[in-house]
Structure formats: C-alpha cells, structure tokens
Structure 1
Amino acid sequence: MVHFLRMILENTQTKYERHFEVMRDLRKGGLNPDMYPEFLNTVKNLPNLPSRKISDYRIFDKFNLSNLTESDVFVISNEFQRRSRNITKTCWHPLASSSTCKVDRSRKIIVTEAHSIQNNGVLSKISENGHVVGFSLDKNGFEDKEIGKNIASTFLGFCNNHDAIFYPIETNSYSGTDEQHFLYAYRAFVVSFHKKRETSYFINYGIQSENDIEENKKIFDLAIISKNYSVIKTDVFELPAHYPMAVSSAANLEFDFDGNPIIHSENRMGNLYI
C-alpha cells in the first residue's frame, strides 16, 4: 500500500484525478497510460471515505505502485503549477474580448505576464542589482531566493491592452486619489483570486469560493465601467521609515479595525486588499 496514494485519496479537498493524471503523464509512482484506466476505475469503486478500511487500499498492490520520493513530489508540484497557470490565464478586465484585447492570428487573446507590484516603481526601489528576494516552493519547502525584478510578482491576468488600466499607479507618483486607491485594491483582488483559481486546478475549494470571486468581480467591474472609484474604502497607514518590502494581496475579513465581528452577506466574503 502506497502512503502518498492513500494521502491523496483521504484528503477531501484534493482533486485526486488531477494528481493521478500528472503522475501518469510523468510516469511517477508506477502509474502509466497503459494501466491508468483500470487503476482509475479501481479508485472510483473504493468505499466512501467514512466506511473505508486500511485493507481496502491493498487492491493497489496489483498495480505495483511505489511511493514517491521528495524529488518526485517536487517535480509533480512544478507540473501542477505549469498546468494551472496555462489553464487559468485570462484577461480579467470587464471589457476583455477578442475585439478589445491583443490577439494572435487565430483571434485568441494573448495574455502576458502582468506585475502585481509596480516593476519600475516599488520593485526598483527595493531591488539590488536588479533582483529582489521572494519565497518559492522548493523540495525542502518554502525558501527565500533572489528573483529578477522583471519576473517578480508576475501573473497571467491581463493582456497588454488592458494592463494599461494601471498606468495611474505605474507612471504617476502616489497622490492619494480615489482612482489610485481603487487600482491598488483591484490589482490585489485580481492577483489573489487569480492565484486561488490556479490552485483550484488541484484543490477543491467548494462552490462558495467561486461565488466569492464572481460577486467581488462584479463590484470591481461595475466600478471600472462607471469610473466610480469611491466604492472602495481605503485606510492609509504611513510608516516612520523606509522598509524594503512590498506586497499585493487580499485576505478575508472577520473583524473590523475596532475589533467588531463583520457580518458577511450570503453571496460573498468581505476582503481586505493590501
């Protein structure tokens, strides 16, 4: 019985078929295309998790599966990231279409690497010799390493045409306008929920997760189309010194700044954009 195989099957948030597909394609753990259909059918016929016994996993012995090494897990993880990035790349702009986005000869939208933190602004100020320090998943876990500032904080979330929406915070100095505050929040929203959609390629977050994304996107989309940038409430905290770090992200809110519990609507969770 294979420990990694059992771990995948017993994690209710894991989309086990996606894991096994990657293992099959990379020939890891003993999986291969020839035996895969029979293997997958065997998995689907296992008893439901609450009534499953350890002995039920012995049926996999006939497939001669082997456990994964740390190196195997690292290779599989990288392949997950590659596939999820390719599948989820899209232009998030509310007016995105083949007639407004930059497209190739087949009229397919060309999505390029967009920065979630200004490359020629903040990243330039905190970089040394064209590099910043970030965290990435290695076979030893999350480790810090130097990253070229031209690729740091990038994600496949906009075409070149619509990435121009961020010019007021990319090319203009910060002046505290409603538009600038909105754009900082909008970019934090897009990069955070785009990353969540990437990981949903192999993790099941449930229906409510996608509802949160869509309902929040409606608010941002309408504000962009109507240019009503005051829909976002902004609090600015000024630090007493320069700290060489930057972030663009979002987090679910449970309490307000006064410590009062936040009551969320049934449609979406409220978020803090940083």
Structure 2
Amino acid sequence: MDSDKINEEMIEMRKQFNRIQSKIRSEANIKDCFHPDKEECVLPIKSAHSLQRQGSLRFLEKDLDGNRYLYIHTEREHNFKHDFFDLKKTGRKVATTFDGFCSFHDTEIFKLIENEPEITDIDNDEHLFLHSYRSFAIAAHRKFEEDKYYQSEDPEIISLLNNMFNPVQLAESKLGVRAALNDFIEPKKRMDEWLLNKEYSNLEYLVIEYPYTCPIGCAAYITPHQLPNGKSIQMNPLDEFQSSVFTTVLPFSNRTVIILAAFPDDPIGCKLLDQIDAIPYELKQQKFLNFFLFEGAENVVISPHFIEKLSTQKRKEYCELINFIQDNRTPFLKYNDKKFPINYFDPSNAIK
C-alpha cells in the first residue's frame, strides 16, 4: 500500500477517532485485576503505571514553562501546521496507565521495584521477573480491550470500523485479535504460578545495560517477525500459536536497563535472545534492538529530548513509520541494519 495513501487515511481516521474518542475509551475500557488470587483483591481497581511514574517516566519527561510532558507512540494528534499525524504531548500522570490491578496487588506485587525507583538490580531475578510480569500484564490488558472495542455494538464505533476496513479486512482484524488473545492463555497460567510460588528464575533472561539515560521506555510483550540473522518468522498472525518476548526498557538517572525474557521451552524466543546476545558489535546490536522495539511494541514512551531535536521532515518520517506499523493492512517491516534510521541507544541521544 502506498505510504502517502496510508498517511492520508490515518489522518482522516484520526479525525473521526477524535470526535468519538471518549466513547471509544469508555466502550473498550476494562477494569480487572490481573493477579490470579482474586480473593485477596481490595477495590478499587487502580490506574496502574506499566513504567514507574517516579522512576523511568520522570527521567524521560521535559519541562516547558512548568508543564511536564513526554510522548507515547499510541497517543497521536493531527499536526495542522505541517499536515501530518504527529505525536501528542502527554503527562506522566496518565502515561502508560491501565486499569489492570487492584489497589492491594498494585502495591504489594511491585513494592520491591517501586518503593526505590532506581533499585533495579540486573543480577536479581526477582527484579527481572517483576518487570517482565508487569510488561506482560499491560500487553494482555490492552489486547482484551482491543477485542472489546472490535465487539462493540455502538453505532458510531461500528461506523468508524466500517470506514477503516472493508468487510474482509474487518473480519481478519477481529480474527487476528482473537488469535492473539489465545496466545496469552498458557503464558499467563505459567507466569501466575511462578509469581505465587516465587519462582523468579524460570524465565530465560537477556539483560543489557548502558551507562547513560536513553530517551526511551517500554513495557511490552513483543511477537517478533525478524531474527537478527535476517530470517523472517511468524509471518501469519492467524497461526495456532505466536511466540512472544517479555520486553522492558527502563531509563534511570545515569543508566538504562533492557530486560528481555522468554520461556525456556520456547525455541523462537530463546533463539532471538541468543542471536541478539551474539551480535558482535554494540552498534549493530543497538540497531536490531531499535528495530525490534519500534516494529513490535505499542507501549513505547519517547522523551521530547529525542523527538524535538529532529527536523520537521525527520519527525514526519518517524511518525509515518509508526503509521505504517500500526496499520494492520500493511506487511511486516523487514530488518535492514543499513537503512533503519532510529537509534535510541546511541550515546549522542542520551538525556543529560
């Protein structure tokens, strides 16, 4: 599909979306605690952050005349001055939130990594597991909300979906979401069991640490479609099962931690982690990690310190690449380390 046509359609769809945005969010919203022990739950369901509000989000935000903000790939608005579908300034109070834990479990589960925002220890499997569990939780929650949105019987939402897709595309999108939901069932059973039994070392972890603050945060459960060796994988979203990788990127005051985790009996996830670990040069490894995050993660937070130093044309191209990825009518991106234009992990992009 022609990229100019995609961007024109995305702008028009966004205008329609903005007109009924509150209704869409109300229709799709789910309030439910992700923790398996419902008898322990203490209401209300909280608007929980998938990234630490007093930690990573604080280091990413920018202050402009007393107003602090950052950017999220899923929060967009029409840039009327330059006529493109831009990123929208978002406060960290609402950034990366989801109604996915009750007030008791949101505090109790994550207190070890929340009470001291910079405490995360890359050699502590409990820390790695808790971050991975929370990344998994928001991904599952968002997918269930997406399914609810597609099943809506509200006339305005049905009209919007019919304008976005032809009947075949809409049916395929609904099937794709249902198939993705199935991919969460068994992983959730295992993660819940390990959480309850405090078995934090059962995942295979790959942790990368940079000694500076990178301008990106992420909490996601990514289904990869490319390996670092260039091989395409999992190209049919309707396959019986899609392998995914727990993915967390945590910028701190003077370092950045990337946590990738896979089930030990998942050959695709473990192969991906092994190949990333084996990339011989740091720059090449960074390039693939950028591609992996950009192509596969929705819950990505970007610092204004990165976005706002781009020229208008480069920022437009950045946003158009998001448009391409978010449009499920387009093919998966193919990794090319010589052409992919983004590197959040380059020291020159570090937040000072």
Give your verdict on TM over 0.5: yes
Question: For residue 236 of structure 1, what is the aligned residue in structure 2?
Answer: 207
2:212 partner SS: coil
Larger Rg: 1
Structure number with higher relative contact order (C-alpha < 8 Å, ≥ 6 residues apart): 2
The amino acid of 1:79's aligned partner reads K
Is 1:152 the equivalent of 2:95?
yes
Deviations 1:106-136 (A, max 9, x none): xxxx211000000111111222234222341
Contact 2:77 2:88 in 1 (8 A): no
Q: How does 1:16-35 map to 2 (within 5 A)?
A: none
Question: For residue 143 of structure 2, what is the aligned residue in structure 1?
Answer: 196
Question: For residue 246 of structure 2, what is the aligned residue in structure 1?
Answer: 273
Could you tell which deviates more after superposition, 232-241 or 138-147? 138-147
Equivalent in 186, 211, 215 of residue 186 of structure 2 = 215
Is 1:126 the equivalent of 2:55?
no
CA–CA separation in structure 2 for the residues paired with 1:269 and 1:250: 11
Say what the alpha-carbon RMSD is for the aligned residues.
Answer: 2.8
Could you tell which deviates more after superposition, 249-258 or 178-187? 249-258
The amino acid of 1:202's aligned partner reads Y
**Identity of paired residues, percent?**
27
Q: Which runs of 5+ in 2 are unaligned?
A: 1-11, 151-173, 248-352
Question: For residue 77 of structure 2, what is the aligned residue in structure 1?
Answer: 138
CA–CA separation in structure 1 for the residues paired with 2:136 and 2:85: 23
CA–CA separation in structure 2 for the residues paired with 1:154 and 1:257: 31
Q: Which runs of 5+ in 1 are unaligned?
A: 1-67, 104-109
Give the deviation of 1:149 after TM superposition: 1.3
Question: For residue 181 of structure 1, what is the aligned residue in structure 2?
Answer: 128
Q: How does 1:241-260 map to 2 (within 5 A)?
A: 241-254=212-225
Deviations 1:51-81 (A, max 9, x none): xxxxxxxxxxxxxxxxx99754432344222
Contact 2:52 2:114 in 1 (8 A): yes
CA–CA separation in structure 2 for the residues paired with 1:242 and 1:127: 12
The amino acid of 1:272's aligned partner reads V
Question: For residue 27 of structure 2, what is the aligned residue in structure 1?
Answer: 83
Counting matched residue pairs gives 195
The amino acid of 2:77's aligned partner reads D
TM-score (norm 1): 0.62
TM-score (norm 2): 0.50
2:88 partner SS: strand
CA–CA separation in structure 1 for the residues paired with 2:16 and 2:87: 21
